[in-house]
Amino acid sequence: MITLTVNGQPRQIEAEADTPLLWVLRDELGLTGTRFGCGVAACGACTVHVDGVPMRACSLPVEALAGASVTTIEGLPASAGLAPEALHPVQQAWIDLQVPQCGYCQSGMIMAAAALLQANPKPSDPEIDAAITNLCRCGTYPRVRTAIRRLGGAA
């Protein structure tokens, strides 16, 4: 049994120690906003925050997270002190600027952008490029950058 906190709630996880966090979130806890993309931590569709740091859930064995605090896209508003039904500012910017095209990768993009803005509220374009390593088949990178820059007060 592994204990961790997910979206502010303590959870007891019964899974094999090497089970990736992604599958615990999706299959055990029903949190399907975190997406499977590549399975090798390359694309970022599965990005979550672990103790505030963006990490790729598809390659994190759940045993390594004992005692950790995990935030998924479903818990992002509450992690910012907002009501659970509210939108996080990054989510609102994504809507306002129509960032997604197909949307599949966007929960991971939003999680990466939220972590970047938490650590660096006014990132430069090179800082955005360095932090947002998520892949988007639709090529929404210009809109992603515009949304982040707007939230940072630069656009």
Q: What percent of the chain has pLDDT over 70?
A: 99
Distances 31 to 72, 74, 90, 115 between C-alpha atoms, Å = 8, 7, 19, 19
């929404």: which residue's tokens?
Answer: 140
Count of C-beta atoms within a 10 Å radius of residue 75: 22
Looking at the structure, tell me whether residues 67 and 107 fall in a common domain.
no
- Amino acid symbol at 135: L
pLDDT tens readout for residues 120-153: 999 999 999 999 999 999 999 999 999 999 998 7
Q: How many domains does the chain have?
A: 2
Cβ atoms 71, 114 nearer than 8 A: no
> Does the model's pTM come out above 0.85?
yes
Predicted confidence at residue 82, as pLDDT, reads: 93
58 shares a domain with 8? yes
Containing structural domain, residue 55:
2-77
Write the CATH number for 67. Answer: 3.10.20.30
**How much is the pLDDT for 48?**
98
Per DSSP, 61 falls in state: B
Calculate mean pLDDT across residues 31-57: 97
